[in-house]
């Protein structure tokens, strides 16, 4: 945290979303003034309701693909606005492309004008269905630009290119975080991702749906670890992309079984066809984050899943 006399001002676009809201919490705790901007198409006011009324926090409902202006000085902009789960970007393909392109352009323009640092929330999806395992930042990816997932993958790849162009051409102080699968409180139950889906099915005693044969893998990172990595990156001087995720890789079938056990559920597992272009493997190489940021995830999967399940259980009204 800066030890200057005045408080630093940060903007979080997409600040009412799952990750954005946890980032707002962290920034407020670190002593920042936080301006949260969200159009609420996938974000939710309930994620930041506890911050409303805090003098360090302001909420603006706004679509960042439009002209972006904020009064007063701004020190750092975190660009987290984007639909981020397959169910969202398949339903909102054009908004997803627009926020990755126009939204990134507007946010970078504001950073340039305010001489603010800019941190882009990019994604492991820039690697597509990877032919390199684990994925390091040097890998250029294997993305199908015309497939259904291309709207998200290419929006984020474009956002990275735009961020580097503003850095090289305009001298904007930029950071790029490539975020791998993250889970935790405030995920939406129906966002189509594996952990919320498995948990809601297991908690309700329904059959748990696994796509394909369940051998495809993900590496899942608990939200507090991810936010720690984001914060460290924002305070560092490292400009190239940085993978942030937990290298602890698990197959979808094993994850489903783990969650059923954790829920003490009698749910059985059913298999359905794998979605188009669904990546078969996903594991971050976090060597750069370790060496540059001194960052490594610390919350074990079992503990993170337990906390997340408590949250979903309460949401479903099942908490005893």
- For residue 37, being part of any structural domain is answered with yes
* pLDDT > 60? residue 255: yes
d(CA 257, CA 269): 8
- For residue 158, being part of any structural domain is answered with yes
If asked whether residues 63 and 136 sit together in one domain, one would say yes
Q: Residue 208: give the domain boundaries.
A: 194-217+249-282+299-315
pLDDT band at 86, cuts 50/70/90? confident
- For residue 188, being part of any structural domain is answered with no
Contacts for 96 with CB less than 8 Å, ≥ 6 apart:
82, 83, 88, 89, 151, 152, 155
Q: Which tens digit of pLDDT belongs to each residue from 275-320?
A: 877 788 899 999 999 999 999 999 999 999 999 999 999 999 987 5
CB atoms inside a 10 Å sphere around CB 38? 28
- For residue 167, being part of any structural domain is answered with yes
If asked whether residues 168 and 304 sit together in one domain, one would say no
- CATH code: domain of residue 36: 3.40.50.720
If asked whether residues 60 and 164 sit together in one domain, one would say yes
Instruction: Provide the β-strand partners of residue 12.
Output: 36, 78
- For residue 3, being part of any structural domain is answered with no
| Catalytic residue ranges | 152
If asked whether residues 210 and 125 sit together in one domain, one would say no
Q: Which tens digit of pLDDT belongs to each residue from 108-129?
A: 999 999 999 999 999 999 999 9
If asked whether residues 213 and 230 sit together in one domain, one would say no
What's the total number of domains in the chain? 2
* pLDDT > 90? residue 1: no
If asked whether residues 101 and 143 sit together in one domain, one would say yes
Mean local confidence (pLDDT), 234-248:
98
Q: Which tens digit of pLDDT belongs to each residue from 284-295?
A: 999 999 999 999
- For residue 263, being part of any structural domain is answered with yes
- For residue 69, being part of any structural domain is answered with yes
- For residue 77, being part of any structural domain is answered with yes
If asked whether residues 97 and 210 sit together in one domain, one would say no
Mean local confidence (pLDDT), 202-223:
95
If asked whether residues 115 and 198 sit together in one domain, one would say no
* pLDDT > 80? residue 136: yes
If asked whether residues 208 and 120 sit together in one domain, one would say no
- The per-residue pLDDT for 141 is 96
If asked whether residues 90 and 199 sit together in one domain, one would say no
Mean local confidence (pLDDT), 130-152:
95
Structure tokens at 289: 């984050």
What mean pLDDT value characterizes the chain?
95
Three-state SS sequence of 228-286? HHHHHHHHCCCCCCEEECCCCEEEHHHHHHHHHHHCCCCCCEEEECCCCCCCCCCCECC
If asked whether residues 141 and 212 sit together in one domain, one would say no
d(CA 263, CA 310): 10
Q: Which tens digit of pLDDT belongs to each residue from 28-51?
A: 999 999 999 999 999 999 999 999
d(CA 76, CA 97): 24
- CATH code: domain of residue 200: 3.90.25.10
If asked whether residues 119 and 236 sit together in one domain, one would say yes
């Amino acid at each position: 945290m800066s030890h200057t006399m005045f408080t630093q001002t940060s903007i979080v676009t997409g600040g009412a979303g799952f990750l954005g809201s946890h980032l707002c919490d962290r920034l407020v705790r670190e002593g920042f003034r936080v301006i949260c901007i969200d159009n609420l198409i996938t974000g939710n006011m309930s994620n930041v309701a506890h911050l409303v009324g805090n003098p360090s926090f302001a909420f603006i409902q706004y679509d960042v693909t439009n002209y972006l202006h904020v009064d007063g000085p701004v020190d750092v902009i975190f660009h987290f606005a984007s639909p981020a789960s397959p169910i969202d970007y398949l339903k909102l393909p054009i908004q997803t492309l627009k926020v990755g392109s126009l939204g990134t352009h507007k946010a970078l323009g504001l950073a340039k004008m305010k001489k603010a640092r800019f941190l882009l929330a990019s994604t492991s999806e820039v690697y597509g269905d990877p032919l390199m395992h684990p994925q390091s930042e040097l890998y250029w990816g294997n993305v199908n630009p015309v497939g259904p997932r291309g709207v998200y993958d290419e929006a984020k790849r474009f956002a990275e290119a735009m961020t580097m162009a503003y850095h090289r051409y305009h001298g904007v102080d930029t950071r790029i975080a490539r975020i791998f699968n993250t889970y935790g409180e405030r995920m939406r139950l129906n966002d189509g991702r594996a952990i919320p889906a498995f948990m809601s099915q297991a908690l309700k005693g329904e059959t748990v749906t696994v796509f394909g044969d369940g051998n495809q893998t993900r590496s899942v990172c608990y939200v507090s670890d991810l936010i720690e990595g984001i914060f460290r990156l924002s305070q560092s001087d490292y400009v190239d992309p940085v993978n942030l995720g937990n290298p602890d890789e698990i197959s979808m079938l094993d994850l489903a079984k783990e969650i059923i056990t954790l829920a003490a559920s009698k749910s059985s597992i059913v298999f359905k066809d794998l979605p188009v272009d669904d990546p078969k493997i996903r594991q971050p190489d976090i060597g750069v984050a370790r060496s540059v940021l001194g960052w490594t995830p610390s919350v074990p999967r079992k503990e993170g899943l337990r906390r997340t399940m408590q949250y979903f259980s309460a949401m479903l009204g099942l908490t005893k």
